[in-house]
Amino acid sequence: MKPFLSLILFFTSLAAADLNIPFEKYTLPNGLRVILSPDNTAPVVTVYVIYGVGARSEEKGRTGFAHLFEHMMFQGSAHAPKGTHFQAIESNGGTLNGSTHPDYTDYFEILPANKLAVALWLESDRMRSLAITKENLDNQTEAVKQERRLSFDNQPYATAVSDVFPALAYKNWSSAHSIIGSFEDLNAAGVNDVSRFFRTHYAPNNAVLSIAGDIRKEEVRKLIEAYFGDIPRQERAKSPDLTEPERKNAEWQTYKDPLARVPLVMIAYPGPKRRSPDYYAITMLDVVFTTGDSSRLYQSMVKEKKSALAVEGQLGGPFGGVTDYKDPGLYTFNLTYNPSLQARQVVEQFEQEIARMQTQPPSAKEMERARATMRSFRVRSLQSTMTRAQLLAQYELLDGKPELLNSELEQFLAVTPRQIQEAAKKYLVKSKQCALEIIPAAPAEAKQ
Least confident residue range of 146-150, 175-179, 240-244, 413-417: 146-150
What are the residues whose beta carbons fall under 8 Å from the beta carbon of 64, sequence distance 6 or more? 58, 144, 178, 180, 181, 182, 185, 186
Give the pLDDT of residue 443. Answer: 65
Rounded CA-CA distance 356/235 in Å is 51
CA distances from 288 to 25, 90, 295, 363, 412 (A): 35, 41, 5, 10, 13
The yes or no reply on domain 3-228 and CATH 3.40.190.10 is no
pLDDT of residue 13: 41
**Model confidence pLDDT, tens digit, residues 192-234:** 988 999 999 999 999 999 999 999 999 999 999 999 999 999 9
Nearest Cα residue to 102 out of 61, 67, 60:
67
- What are the residues whose beta carbons fall under 8 Å from the beta carbon of 323, sequence distance 6 or more? 391, 394, 395
pLDDT band at 447 (very low <50, low <70, confident <90, very high): low
pTM of the predicted model as reported, rounded to 2 decimal places = 0.92
Task: Kindly state the average pLDDT of the residues 340-348.
Answer: 97
Domain 3-228 identical in fold to domain 251-445: yes
pLDDT of residue 11 exceeding 50: no
Reference 3, options 215, 216, 214; nearest CA is 214
Which pLDDT belongs to residue 9? 37
The CATH number for 251-445, chosen from 3.30.830.10, 3.50.30.30, 2.102.10.10, 3.40.50.1240, is: 3.30.830.10
pLDDT at 403: 97
**Which of 146-150, 288-292, 372-376 shows the lowest per-residue confidence on average (mean pLDDT)?**
146-150
Mean of pLDDT values over 356-377: 96
- Other beta carbons within 10 Å of 192: 9
Query: Residue 6: pLDDT above 70?
Result: no
**Distance (Å, rounded) from C-alpha 393 to C-alpha 402?**
7
> Mind listing the pLDDT tens digit for each residue in 78-107?
999 999 999 999 999 999 999 999 999 999
Average pLDDT over all residues of the chain: 93
Domain residue limits, the chain: 3-228, 251-445
Structure confidence at residue 444 (pLDDT) = 63
Band of pLDDT at residue 154, cut at 50, 70 and 90: confident
Average pLDDT estimate for 120-142: 94
